[in-house]
C-alpha cells in the first residue's frame, strides 16, 4: 500500500478525531491570546493548542508489527523525514484514551530512538521520507490484548509541522508465559503418551537380544521424567537427542511467544539455525557411529540366536539421567562438555527473549566449541577400544573352529598346532581331539567377552558341539 493511500485510509478511519478532538473554527484559530507561546517540543499533549493540529499537515504512521509489545521495544514508522532541511526534527508520541472524545487525554510515551527505516520495512516508507520510532509502551488495561490509540507529533523547534494518528493492539508482557506454558505441556504430554504406548507394546523380537533391546515398562510417575524422550535404540539416554530436544522446545517456545507478542513471524538468525543443525547432525552422526561400534555382524548374531547363547536381561533397562555423562560405566568428558555449552547457549537465548530471535548471535569461538564438542564426542566413540569388534572377530573364529571340528570328525582326522586339518591322523591320537580343544578354548574366551561387552549372561553349555 502506498503512502498516499495509507494516508487516505487513516484519515477515513479517524475522521471523528478531527471532528471532535480537533474541533476548532477558523475564528478560533485566529483568535488572539494573552497566554505565553506553547512549545511543541516540550509541552504536554493537553497544553498544545488544537489550532496547531489544523495548521500542521496530517501525515500517516503505522505500527511495524500487527501487535505492539508492552514493556518492550514497540516500533512505529512515520511518513516524515528526519530533518526539515536545516535542523533535525523532534518526534513525540502520545497515547490517547479515545479519539472520538472532544477532550481526549494523552500521556506521553518515551521515545527510545529515531532512525531511518530499513529499506523493505513497509511499502511506501523509504529511507529519505520516513523515520522509525522505537517507543516504550506500558502494560495494557485489558488482559492479553488491548486496542490503543496513538498520536505522533513532528516538531521543528517549537512549531508543530506534522502529526499522525494510528492505533494498534498491545499485548500483555505475561501473555507468552500464560499461553506458551500450556502449549508446551500439551506437546510434552502427547510425546510422553506416544512413548508410553510404545513401551506397553511388547515386541516379539525382544527375545532375540540384541536385535531389539527390551525396554523398561513405564509407570504414570515416569510422565514427569523427560529422560524417556531422549532414549536411543539401546534404551540409553542420548546427550545429542537431549540437545536437540532442548533447542527445539526453546526455539518453538520463543517463536510462539513472538507471534503472541507481535502478531508476526521473523526469520531465525543464522546462529539459531546453526544450533539446530549442529544438534541434529551431531545426534544422527553419534547414533550411527555408536551402532557401528557396538553392534555384532548379522552372521554372528544369528549364529548366537540359533544356539540360544544370549540370555535377555531379567529386567529391561530404561534411560537414566546418568547416561548423559556415562558411556559403558565410564565418565564421558565429551558428553559433559556438550551439556555445559548447550546450557550456556540456552540461557543466553532465554535472556535475549523472543523479540531478539532474528538478531540472536553467539560468539564465533563459542559456537565453534559447541560444534567441536560434537566432533570430539563422535571421535571419542571412534577411538574407543574396539570391544565389540574384538568380540565379533572372536565369534567368527569360533564358528570356523566349529566347522573345522565337524570336518575333522567327518574325515576321521585332527588338526595340527596351526589349526589346519592333517592329511592323516597320527597313531594313537583321538579323532578331532586337538580341534575340539581349540574350539573349547575359543568358546570359553567368547563367553567372557560376551558378558563383559554386551553385559548379558551367556550360556556356555549352548556352545558345546554335539
pTM of the predicted protein model: 0.69
Confidence at residue 439, expressed as pLDDT on a 0 to 100 scale: 92
Q: What is the DSSP string of 127-184?
A: TTT-EEEEEEPPPPSSSSEEEEEEEEEEEETTEEEEEEEEEEEEE-TTHHHHHHHHHH
Band (280; pLDDT cuts 50, 70, 90): low
Q: Is the pLDDT higher at 33 or at 157?
A: 157
Can you name the residues that pair with 111 across neighbouring β-strands?
135
Confidence at residue 386, expressed as pLDDT on a 0 to 100 scale: 53
Q: Is the pLDDT higher at 154 or at 50?
A: 154
Instruction: List the domains of the chain with CATH numbers.
Output: 3-171 (2.60.40.10), 175-382 (no CATH), 387-463 (no CATH)
At residue 384, does pLDDT exceed 80?
no
| Residues 6+ positions from 15 with CB-CB distance below 8 Å | none
At residue 18, does pLDDT exceed 80?
no
Q: Per-residue pLDDT averaged across 292-313, rounded?
A: 79
Using one digit for the tens of pLDDT, what is the confidence trace for 230-277? Answer: 987 778 888 888 988 998 899 999 999 889 888 888 788 888 887 777
Write down the mean pLDDT value for the chain: 79
Using one digit for the tens of pLDDT, what is the confidence trace for 176-218? Answer: 888 999 999 999 999 999 888 887 776 666 655 555 556 777 8
Contact 465, 439 (CB under 8 A): yes
Q: Is the pLDDT higher at 460 or at 366?
A: 460
**What is the C-alpha separation between 377 and 327, in angstroms, rounded?**
11
Q: Per-residue pLDDT averaged across 86-90, rounded?
A: 88
At residue 19, does pLDDT exceed 70?
no
CA-wise closest residue to 242 among 167, 341, 166: 341
Band (355; pLDDT cuts 50, 70, 90): confident
Q: Per-residue pLDDT averaged across 273-301, rounded?
A: 69
Confidence at residue 85, expressed as pLDDT on a 0 to 100 scale: 80
**What is the C-alpha separation between 53 and 7, in angstroms, rounded?**
16
Using one digit for the tens of pLDDT, what is the confidence trace for 406-442? Answer: 998 888 888 888 888 888 888 878 888 899 999 999 9
**Of the given ranges (63-67, 102-106, 294-298, 379-383), which has the lowest mean pLDDT?**
379-383
Q: Per-residue pLDDT averaged across 317-327, rounded?
A: 87
**What is the C-alpha separation between 182 and 187, in angstroms, rounded?**
9
Number of H helices, E strands in the chain: 12, 12
Confidence at residue 288, expressed as pLDDT on a 0 to 100 scale: 61
Amino acid at each position: 500500500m502506498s503512502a498516499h493511500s495509507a494516508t487516505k485510509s487513516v484519515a477515513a478511519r479517524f475522521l471523528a478525531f478531527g471532528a471532535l478532538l480537533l474541533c476548532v473554527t477558523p475564528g478560533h484559530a485566529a483568535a488572539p491570546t494573552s497566554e505565553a507561546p506553547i512549545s511543541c517540543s516540550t509541552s504536554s499533549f493537553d497544553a498544545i493548542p488544537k489550532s496547531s493540529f489544523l495548521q500542521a499537515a496530517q501525515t500517516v504512521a503505522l505500527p511495524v508489527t500487527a501487535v505492539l509489545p508492552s514493556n518492550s521495544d514497540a516500533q512505529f514508522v512515520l511518513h516524515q523525514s528526519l530533518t526539515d532541511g536545516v535542523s533535525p526534527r523532534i518526534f513525540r508520541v502520545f497515547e490517547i484514551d479515545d479519539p472520538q472524545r472532544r477532550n481526549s487525554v494523552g500521556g506521553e510515551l518515551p521515545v527510545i530512538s529515531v532512525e531511518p527505516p530499513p529499506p523493505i520495512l513497509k511499502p511506501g516508507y523509504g529511507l529519505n521520507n520516513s523515520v522509525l520510532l522505537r517507543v516504550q509502551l506500558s502494560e495494557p488495561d485489558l488482559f492479553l490484548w488491548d486496542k490503543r490509540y496513538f498520536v505522533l507529533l513532528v516538531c521543528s523547534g517549537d512549531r508543530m509541522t506534522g502529526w499522525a494518528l494510528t492505533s494498534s493492539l498491545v499485548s500483555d508482557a505475561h501473555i507468552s508465559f500464560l499461553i506458551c506454558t500450556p502449549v508446551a505441556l500439551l506437546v510434552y504430554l502427547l510425546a510422553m503418551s506416544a512413548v508410553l504406548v510404545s513401551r506397553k507394546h511388547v515386541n516379539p523380537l525382544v527375545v532375540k537380544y540384541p536385535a531389539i533391546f527390551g525396554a523398561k515398562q513405564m509407570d504414570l510417575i515416569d510422565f514427569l521424567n523427560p529422560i524417556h524422550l531422549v532414549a536411543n535404540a539401546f534404551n540409553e539416554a542420548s546427550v545429542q537427542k537431549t540437545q536437540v530436544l532442548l533447542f527445539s522446545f526453546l526455539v518453538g517456545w520463543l517463536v510462539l511467544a513472538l507471534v503472541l507478542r507481535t502478531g508476526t513471524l521473523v526469520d531465525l538468525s543464522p546462529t539459531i539455525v546453526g544450533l539446530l543443525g549442529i544438534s541434529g547432525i551431531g545426534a544422527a552422526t553419534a547414533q550411527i557411529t555408536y551402532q557401528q561400534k557396538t553392534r555384532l555382524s548379522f552372521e554372528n548374531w544369528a549364529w548366537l540366536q540359533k544356539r540360544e547363547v544370549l540370555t535377555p536381561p531379567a529386567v529391561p533397562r530404561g534411560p537414566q539421567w546418568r547416561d548423559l555423562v556415562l558411556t559403558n560405566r565410564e565418565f564421558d568428558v565429551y558428553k559433559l562438555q556438550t551439556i555445559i555449552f548447550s546450557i550456556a547457549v540456552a540461557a543466553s537465548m532465554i535472556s535475549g527473549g523472543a523479540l531478539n530471535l532474528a538478531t540472536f548471535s553467539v560468539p564465533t569461538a563459542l559456537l565453534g566449541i559447541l560444534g567441536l564438542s560434537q566432533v570430539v564426542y563422535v571421535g571419542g566413540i571412534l577411538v574407543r577400544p574396539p570391544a565389540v569388534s574384538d568380540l565379533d572377530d572372536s565369534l567368527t573364529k569360533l564358528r570356523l573352529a566349529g566347522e573345522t571340528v565337524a570336518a575333522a570328525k567327518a574325515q576321521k582326522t585332527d588338526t595340527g598346532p596351526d589349526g589346519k586339518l592333517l592329511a592323516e591322523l597320527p597313531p594313537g591320537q583321538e579323532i578331532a581331539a586337538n580341534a575340539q580343544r581349540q574350539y573349547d578354548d575359543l568358546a570359553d574366551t567368547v563367553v567372557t567377552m560376551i558378558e563383559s561387552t554386551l553385559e548379558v549372561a551367556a550360556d556356555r553349555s549352548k556352545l558345546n558341539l554335539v
